[in-house]
Amino acid sequence: MSNTDLDSQLAQWQTAYKAATPNVNARLLTQQTKKAQFKLKCKGLVDLMLGLVVTCFCIYAAVFEATSLLQQLLISVLSPLPVGFGLWGYRVRQKQWQTEVLDVQSMLTFKETQLKQQLHYWKISLIWGSALWLGLLGIAIYNLVVSSEYMLWATQLGLNSFILLLVCLRYKKLKQRLPIQLMDIQLLR
């Protein structure tokens, strides 16, 4: 083979490779990745702060609102759930935002991992929210049977039911969209 034949064959291979490889705007992908990492930091801090606030409210309710020892015990059992969930959410997001993304492949892997962990986060949120809802249901039923002070707990249960419904809808939506989003990422590779 002559150099001219090799050059033309190389040119054909390059053309075929470029045609088969999707065009990825690396600068835009880098901006999106940095923006996603910043959002993860903010969401992690919000998770942590909200967990602390809800736990403080639970402690307040156990000390000042509970009318019996059993109520104090039930509320005390529930109080670590929000701060525990907040810490867990913070740590999950911290692992993501500390991920180094240096090239297009690592940025695509970052996006893929982010989508999978987002679904996992909402699944765990649904589980923890359900546990909290069941605890509030137990307290509301206890207060309905034992005393006439059930309105506060019924209100809490109603609010938590609404939040649990939103979490469930978000989880289902993300679960439904995940395969399509992962396929889009695979097409870019």
* pLDDT (0 to 100) of residue 47: 83
Q: Going from the first residue of the chain to its last (189 residues), give the mean pLDDT of each consecutive group of 10, the final group possibly shorter.
A: 67 67 67 81 86 87 81 83 86 74 72 88 89 84 75 79 92 94 82
* pLDDT (0 to 100) of residue 171: 95
Contact by Cβ (8 Å): 84, 51: yes
* pLDDT (0 to 100) of residue 72: 84
* pLDDT (0 to 100) of residue 168: 95
**Nearest one of 48, 100, 55 to 78, comparing CA atoms:** 55
Distance CA 118, CA 89 (A): 10
Relative orientation angle of helices 104-146 and 151-188, to the nearest 10 degrees? 160
